[in-house]
Amino acid sequence: MLDSDVRLEWFVSFLAVIETGSFVAAAESTRRSQPRVSQHVAALEKLIGQPLFDRKKRPVQLTDAGRALAVQARHVLRALEEAESAMAPWRGGTRGIVSLGSYPSASAAFVPGLLKGLAATDPDIKVVISEHATLELDDRLVSGGVDLYLRPMAPRPASASVASLPLWREPLVVLHAEGHPLAELPDPVPLAAVADHPVVSIGRLGEPETAEYEAHQLFQEHGLTLDPVQATNQPQTLVSLVAEDIGVGVTNGLAAWTSDTTGVRVRPLDGPHERRVAVCWDSTRPLTPAARSILRTIVESDTPAGTTRITPNGHEQPDRVLVPRIIA
């Protein structure tokens, strides 16, 4: 029977005979001598106690035992290749591919500057952008589809394995069409006045998680009910719905500032209403050197215009940022 004495080179020679149809051709393809290939196959046959090839036929043909072993030998070598691929990012310093998840407004306001800086400081790292709605990003992280992702801190991630570092805070704003009744009110616009009109919000209509987004929480905190007439995760879609007077928009500042707001007014809301944004990763999976380098760069990068940086201890810090030990 097979045991730990089996050598990988035996499997390589065995499979080479199968692929080439002869021991001589297998020796040429593996750059070994023909007697060496024969010794490897003979060693396997000795351990198994069965012949692997019918050597009387040309080209040589597998026996039933040989066919069964071939399947497992390919599995073993494929697993070795996968292990090699998994270890590759840890070699040669900060090299490799990092999948960075992001949501629309962060993609527009923050990611381009991040990539420009990385091209200069870490040219050997390739960043693959994966854009999704907030809750979809959570799923992508759990499934291994992204290594890191930018995410609003509300709603909270469903998985307890998600670790995060706060990056910035930005105000919530109200949007309304030109000529809308809210235009008669001075800045900042009272939330109670907004609640008197149909509202377009972030999220998806009918999904319970939508009630955990900032706009819904804001209304709830003030004893108001938000029953949106429409909801979307795309900033430009929200602005366009507002421009058509479908409703009044309540969203984060970056969503409005990165959109074409022709025909729409973007107004401050009365009160310290805000969105907080973080960079997240899965605490149960080790970050590759490349991913750790990207994480450090994200934390050290300038935050988007109109936002305020949050330090790891939660306080505002307009200039220097303290880098946590996790990425030191």
Phi, psi of 35 (to 5 degrees): -60, -35
CA–CA distance, 266 with 262 (Å, rounded to integer)? 10
Alpha-carbon distance values, 111 to 179, 251, 297 (Å): 35, 20, 11
Q: Among residues 325, 250, 282, which one has the least CA distance to residue 160? A: 282
CB contact at 8 A, 98 and 288: yes
CB contact at 8 A, 259 and 236: yes
Q: Is the pLDDT of residue 253 over 90?
A: yes
CA–CA distance, 138 with 157 (Å, rounded to integer)? 6
Pairing label, strands 308-309, 162-177: antiparallel
CA–CA distance, 165 with 171 (Å, rounded to integer)? 19
Specify the DSSP element, H or E, that contains 57: none
CB contact at 8 A, 250 and 199: yes
Token pair for 118: 């990385």
Q: Which of 49-63, 71-85, 185-199 has the highest mean pLDDT?
A: 185-199
Average pLDDT along the chain: 88
Q: b/e map of 118-127 (b: 16 or more CB within 10 Å)?
A: beeebeebeb
In the chain, the DSSP E strands lie at 53-54, 61-62, 96-102, 125-131, 148-152, 162-177, 199-202, 230-232, 248-252, 264-268, 274-282, 308-309
Which residue has better confidence, 316 or 302? 302
Mean pLDDT of 288-312: 91
pLDDT given at position 45 = 92
3-state secondary structure of 28: helix
pLDDT given at position 129 = 95
Token pair for 315: 């306080």
Q: Give the model's confidence band at 321: pLDDT under 50 very low, under 70 low, under 90 confident, else very high.
A: very low
Angle between the N-to-C axes of helices 64-87 and 8-20, in degrees from 0 to 180, rounded to the nearest 10: 120
pLDDT given at position 326 = 45
Token pair for 154: 């509300």
Q: Give the model's confidence band at 318: pLDDT under 50 very low, under 70 low, under 90 confident, else very high.
A: very low
Q: Which residue has the tokens 């990385």?
A: 118
Alpha-carbon distance values, 278 to 66, 73, 226 (Å): 55, 46, 25
Mean pLDDT of 19-25: 90
Please state the pTM of the whole predicted model: 0.69
Mean pLDDT of 68-76: 92
DSSP 49: T
pLDDT given at position 88 = 61
Q: Which domains does the chain have, with CATH numbers?
A: 8-89 (1.10.10.10), 96-168+275-327 (3.40.190.10), 170-274 (3.40.190.10)
pLDDT given at position 90 = 55
Token pair for 98: 């990092």
Q: Give the model's confidence band at 163: pLDDT under 50 very low, under 70 low, under 90 confident, else very high.
A: very high
Token pair for 157: 């991630």
End-to-end CA distance of the chain: 50
Mean pLDDT of 152-174: 93
Q: Which of 86-90, 111-115, 314-318, 319-323 has the highest mean pLDDT?
A: 111-115
Residue 263, strand partner residues:
none
Mean pLDDT of 200-211: 84
CB contact at 8 A, 277 and 102: no
In 203-245, the DSSP E strands lie at 230-232
CA–CA distance, 164 with 312 (Å, rounded to integer)? 10
Alpha-carbon distance values, 214 to 154, 231, 241, 324 (Å): 6, 13, 19, 27
CB contact at 8 A, 144 and 135: no
Q: Give the model's confidence band at 158: pLDDT under 50 very low, under 70 low, under 90 confident, else very high.
A: confident
pLDDT given at position 94 = 53
CB contact at 8 A, 140 and 151: no
